[in-house]
Structure 1
Amino acid sequence: MMAQTDNSKSAALYLRACKVMPGGVSRNTVLRSPHPLYAERGAGCYVTDIEGVKRIDFANNMAALIHGHAHPEVVAALTEQLHRGTAFTMATEAEVLFAELMCQRNSGFEKIRFCNSGTEAVMNCIKAARAFTGRPKIAKMEGSYHGLYDYAEVSQTASPANWGPAEKPNSVPVAYGTPSSALNDVVVLPFNDVARAIAILDQHADQLACVLIDPMPHRIGLTPASAEFVSALRNWTKKNGALLVFDEVITFRSCYAGAQDWYGLIPDLTAMGKMIGGGFPVGALAGRKVVMDVMNPLADKVLFPQGGTFSANPMTMVAGYTTMKMFDQAAVEKVNRLADRARAQITEAIRVADIPACVTGGGSMFRVHLKPEVSGDYRSGYVDADEAGRIKRLLDYLFDNGAMLINTCSATISTVMTVREIDYLSEVMLGGFRKLHDLA
């Protein structure tokens, strides 16, 4: 248990937390030194902590809040549903309404099913792909995060000490005790490297159930996949009887039909989560009817029985339906324009401060790197201990000056933000860059 280092409410609360939870938390992302700060309330794009300090929220609960906090329309819909009940051992109309709305957004969403998290959505996509193809293996990108499922998490924390040769990256476990069988069934591909990726895929062609890709993977550097790379994967999967699975848990906010719209193609399955739940735990998988029907309980033989006690609970369905109905084409364009403005202004701040840094991203998200450039693959964007230390100093400066970002120095835009918040972030970012320059 950590010692109390100040007399704040947060310090006292963390002492209590450490007695009942490992590390004092249930998710590591909220940890700060010497203790987390605790939220009191959120309204719009601002969060106030229990000490009374208000900050602009560019983290949005790890990209999960597209309309900010406590949006009046979402609150009203949820309040009405709360009085009717929160969960039943029965279906509800809310699930049907939300499914219809989501399928209308993307012509590739012939059928959809809901679950409770992005991790579940990706897991279900993998299991559906195995059931459909009868094959055991999956392929994924080196360094890409897809949740906590044993197979999906392979290689997400690979480092120079264990990642192996670029032409054949190792399957590196994240959690101690990961079965070797799981590692052996995950083929790791270099992101955005067509020649090497296809060469690796060819070695496992008759065993691969699917190729899993996040079109703009946060852990790889928040750089969009190239059109050439995605097209090569689509062509290879079609030729070899494997499925192409898009993880759009984070990126679905990028376009009205998801980031897959950037590429003009339709994956076989798409995993979603985060912002489609309107602030509630959510996951979803959607795709071709023939693939989705491996979960059909009315079939003569159910290849993949899938479900969950809280899947499609009416609170999440109502929050999601209300949120996504508001996230129309105009709203998508608004947040993307604000992100464009932020990327341009932060790039200019980097130039003015004269520090080695760059900005990546797309749609309504961006990430600041404290290196001159990243070339769009995991290894070029890898954050070593020195860069991690500088990023922490920058994040602390931003936090202390009223701007809260994701702990990789990434930001997401919500529809309740305006030019005012973007300009403020750019100004504070310039101050942080100048401080780093002075410390160099």
Structure 2
Amino acid sequence: MRIAPDELPERARAVLPGGNTRSTVFVPPHPPYAVAGEGCVVTDAQGHRVYDCNNNYTSLLHGHARREIVEVATETLARGSAFGLPTESEIELAELLRDRTGLTRWRFCNSGTEAVMMAVRVARAVTERSRIIRFEASYHGTYDGVVAASATGVPGAVEEQSVILPQADGAAFDAAMRQHGHEVAAVLIDLMPNRAGLRPVPRDFVDHVRARTREYGSLLVVDEVITFRLGVGGLRQRYGVAADLTTLGKVIGGGFPVGAVGGSVDVMKAFDPLGDGVVSWGGTFSANPVSMRAGATALRLYGKSEVDRLNALGDRLRQELADSGLPVSGFGSLIRLLVDDPTVTWWALYREGVLAGTNGLLALSTAMTDDDVTEIGTRVRAAARAST
């Protein structure tokens, strides 16, 4: 028997703690339930249609049900969803990532969180050190070793392996390296951390971190799980910073689960099963052909002209919102509404027909036209008026 939309929250709470699985999509008293997506529009169980500026937290680069991606995923699925053997599809996606980033070796997994876990593991293996330096409010997934010290369920012993520093504070970074540098396996950095306000990290600070990591023999890990969409080779290429390792996810899966770690031959050889002291890493669905081929298709549909167009749309929308008095940050196709009460703003946006991230994040997709972005701007401004 079909359950009425109004009954979905109660049904969910009977089997899911709090009524859902993902903490990031929860808004009190409960979020709406999606039933379909097409292009840049999502329809919920109540029949409400909204512009999707969440895009599954930036991962749906081309919006919903892009024809070419649906076709390749369907064709691949018909030949088998996953195997206990490698497939050509992972070679294909790795070659694409090599050509776009200049990083020559890749390993795949199933999420950005897992990619960070892999990067930390290999950094510790290569350097034979254990300590990690990271920066306050930068989100690197739900792995115990990179969440906030106050996170429920994380033992203190885990946090002891991390040094957490203020964003872009050169003096604090230098002091930490003087004290711990020869124990530091890696410095983990996001060049435009969403949860820290989606503000680009100053280029001179990034260059300084790169120089110090080389000086102390630590690896630089650039987390591009969110920011890879901002350039053909990610935001890292715009900075001109040479990473020892980079972590990817989201857009490189074409709407399917994916994560990846890329790096140099010398670092990534630690994963070589024919080598000594190999870092062993499995994953039943890692590099499954559906994710690999969907991801490769998504990247081929996102060349320089598409990157430039989407970033220009984002820059225009951000400027228009700023000109209307709204506090905003970000770069290119990623925009952050800097609001005092994210829940109130989220519901105001949703009622106006815009789906945002629960922290005010807006992520545009190639499915959006100039007119769509103009309409989104109109609705965001209306929501801002309604929430004040």
TM-score interval, normalised by the smaller of the two chains: over 0.9
1:79 to 71, 74, 93: 74
Residue 436 of structure 1: how far off its partner (Å): 4.1
User: Deviation at 1:9?
Assistant: 3.3
Q: 2:337 aligns with which of 368, 391, 402?
A: 368
Please state whether the residue corresponding to 2:261 is helix, strand or coil: strand
Q: Say if 2:27 and 2:358, in contact at 8 Å, map to a contact too.
A: no
Map 1:47-66 → 2, pairs under 5 A? 47-66=42-61
Aligned equivalents of 1:323, 1:112: Cα separation in 2: 18
Partner of 1:422: 373
1:322 aligns with 2:297: yes
Equivalent position of 2:328 in the other structure? 359
Alignment pair present for 1:67 and 2:43:
no
CA distance in 2, matches of 1:218, 1:425: 21
1:308-362 alpha-carbon deviations (Å, 9 max, x no partner): 1110001101111111111111111111000011101101121xxxxxx411101
Deviation digits for residues 382-431 of structure 1 (CA, Å, limit 9, x no counterpart)? xxxxx22xx32222111101111111111001011111121112212222
Whether 2:358 is the aligned partner of 1:407: answer yes
User: Residues 239 and 293 from structure 1, CA distance in 2 versus in 1: closer, same or farther, beyond 3 angstroms?
Assistant: same
1:136 is the counterpart of 2:113: no
SS across alignment from 1:76: helix
Kindly provide the CA deviation profile for residues 176-222 of structure 1, in whole angstroms up to 9, marking residues without a partner as x. Answer: 3x222211110011111112222122210110000000110001000
Which of 339, 355, 358 pairs up with 2:314?
339
1:194-213 to 2 correspondences below 5 Å: 194-213=170-189
Moved more, 24-33 or 403-412: 24-33
Aligned residues: 386
For the residues of structure 2 that align with 1:200 and 1:10, how far apart are their CA atoms? Answer: 53
Partner of 1:396: 347
1:29-428 paired onto structure 2 within 5 Å: 29-107=24-102, 109-153=103-147, 155=148, 172-176=149-153, 178-299=154-275, 301-350=276-325, 357-370=326-339, 387-388=340-341, 391-428=342-379
Give the share of equivalent positions with the same residue, in percent. Answer: 41
Q: Structure 1: how far apart are the matches of 2:384 and 2:82?
A: 49
Give the distance between the partners of 1:53 and 1:179, measured in 2 at CA.
43
Q: Distance in 2 between matches of 1:144 and 1:303?
A: 30
Range 27-36 or range 9-18, more displaced? 27-36
Paired letter, 2:109: C
Contact 2:314 2:364 in 1 (8 A): yes
Structure 2 Cα separation of the partners of residues 174 and 337 of structure 1:
37
Measured against aligned partners, the alpha-carbon deviations of 1:246-269 in whole angstroms (never above 9, x if no partner) come to 000000001111110121121000
SS of match in other structure, 2:146:
coil
Match of 2:14 among 12, 15, 19: 19
How many Å separate the matches in 2 of 1:18 and 1:414?
A: 32
Instruction: Say if 1:394 and 1:436, in contact at 8 Å, map to a contact too.
Output: yes
1:57 touches 1:404 (CA, 8 Å); kept in 2? yes
Shift of 1:280: 0.5
| Higher mean C-alpha deviation, range 258-267 or range 279-288 | 258-267
Q: Distance in 2 between matches of 1:282 and 1:13?
A: 29
SS of the counterpart of 1:367? strand
CA RMSD of aligned residues (A): 1.3
The whole-number CA distance in structure 1 between the counterparts of 2:173 and 2:65 is 44
The offset of 1:302, in angstroms, is: 3.2
CA distance in 1, matches of 2:374, 2:177: 45
What SS is found at the alignment partner of 2:107? strand
Q: Does structure 2 conserve the Cα–Cα contact (< 8 Å) formed by 1:343 and 1:366?
A: yes
Separation in 2, partners of 1:296, 1:17: 44
Report if aligned partners of 2:348, 2:387 keep a CA contact under 8 Å in 1.
no
**SS at structure 2 position matched to 1:270:** strand
Structure 1 segments unaligned to the other structure (5+ residues): 1-7, 156-171, 351-356, 371-386
Contact 2:352/2:383, CA 8 A, preserved across alignment: no
Please give the secondary structure, in 1, of the residue aligned with 2:81: coil
1:328 is matched by which residue type in structure 2? G
Q: For residues 209 and 83 of structure 2, what CA distance do their matches in structure 1 show?
A: 41
In the superposition, the TM-score normalised over structure 2's length comes to 0.97
User: Could you say if the C-alpha distance between residues 265 and 32 of structure 1 is closer, same or farther in structure 2, counting changes exceeding 3 Å?
Assistant: closer
